[in-house]
Amino acid sequence: MLVSLSDRSYQIEIGSATGDGSLGRAGVILSSLPQTVTHCVVLTDDNVQRLGYARTVAESLAQSGIDAAILIVAAGEQSKTIETANSLWTALVDEDVDRQSVLVAVGGGVIGDLGGFVASTFLRGIRFFQVPTTLLAQVDSSVGGKVGINLPSAKNSVGAFYQPVAVLIDTSTLATLDDDQFACGLGEVAKYAVSLDESLWRLLETDAAKVLAREPSTLGTIVNACCRIKADIVSRDERETTGLRALLNFGHTFAHAFETHSEYKVLHGQAVAVGSVLATRLAVRLGLVDNAMLERVIELHKSLRLPVKPSDLPQLPKWDAGTIIKLMSRDKKVENGRLKFVLPTSAGKCELTEVGDIDEVKRILEE
């Protein structure tokens, strides 16, 4: 599948360990790039390292004659910081990384966002290759080139648009995800379904049991569907300038505020699930959709065992509407101080909407 961006176009290869897209394809993919690759640094986290995925990728690179060192950071959102980026820039110097080297990000969205940010800045930009191993990263974060780190007070607020040279997705890695992390990915999958693709929504309604059982062909279908939606949107609005790409942020205005308030202890995909339901509630209040739509959204989330309200998020500390609204005002969709939300307008469709009366948002939070 192609992400079509003129000279920054790249392929997303999706497969499983038994198919063409296995981790062992990493070397072949890098060898087929127009500019020769002889040296890589593989970035991963300590969980993914233990599971052996980074080693498999490094071995595949070695088989293609590409030299690769492995750099390991602590797993989790706390690594998406300037401090970790700083230690990685230093490590890249120690590893003699030059402008022909490639940074290979093997892990979840944290490793992809952090690795991409480090690659975008080191020597004013070296190539990077996404090898996502979580459902969230396979359906969303590895595609589209949003890279970055968090500030303590604002998520994803330092970063760049910086596209990878390729994305390699091996869906067999999803077998080792714990249930919470799997649910995080499903939060993003439900986001695509409700806001952008009713046929995906219907598939999830029919096949929820197969999804939860992680049936390989069902997972393959879902990952393919989500990547296709994202590749299409990114190809048409890479830098989020027309409002199209902003639609991928359904549920995110609420989600980012909850994540920041919890000091990033609330997991992103679970916050997105709650945010999607709250955004639908807001759309009902503003007369954009009816209650039946809200019920269907809640039902979908429950069938995928996703949280549907803030009190379903165990890591969310005590909060009040004023605090959450203040955090929302730092959202990247704010323009001239005015809050914008991605709100559903019908099943599988949504729009970026300015909400003039902030009391409506307050009421939704307090309901």
**Is 80 or 245 the residue whose CB approaches ligand GLY more closely?**
245
**Is 87 or 157 the residue whose CB approaches ligand GLY more closely?**
157
Q: Which stretch binds ligand GLY (CB under 6 A): 49-57, 59-67, 245-253, 292-300?
A: 245-253
Binding mask 169-198 for ligand NAD (x = CB under 6 A): ----x--xx---x--x--------------
- Interface residue with ligand GLY, options 13, 113, 140, 170 (CB under 6 A): 140
- Catalytic member of 25, 55, 80, 146: 146
Shortest reach from residue 359's CB to ligand NAD, in Å: 29
**Does 196 participate in binding ligand GLY (rule CB under 6 A)?**
no
Give CA–CA dist 282/289, Å, rounded: 9
**Does 80 participate in binding ligand GLY (rule CB under 6 A)?**
no
**Is 27 or 269 the residue whose CB approaches ligand NAD more closely?**
269
Q: How many angstroms separate the Cα of 222 from the Cα of each of 44, 57, 178, 193, 199?
A: 25, 24, 18, 10, 11
* Per-position b or e across 79-106, b if 16+ CB within 10 A of its CB: bbbeebbeebeebbeebebeeebbbbbb
Q: Which stretch binds ligand GLY (CB under 6 A): 20-28, 101-109, 243-251, 293-301?
A: 243-251
Q: How many angstroms separate the Cα of 72 from the Cα of each of 55, 243, 290?
A: 11, 36, 48
Listed in sequence order, the DSSP H helices in 132-215 are 135-136, 179-196, 198-212
Give CA–CA dist 27/46, Å, rounded: 22
**Does 132 participate in binding ligand GLY (rule CB under 6 A)?**
no
Give CA–CA dist 157/147, Å, rounded: 10
- Catalytic member of 252, 261, 281, 340: 252
Other Cβ atoms within 10 Å of 314 Cβ, number: 11
**Does 146 participate in binding ligand GLY (rule CB under 6 A)?**
yes
* Residues of the shown chain interacting with ligand GLY in the complex, contacts defined by CB under 6 A: 140, 144, 146, 245, 248-249
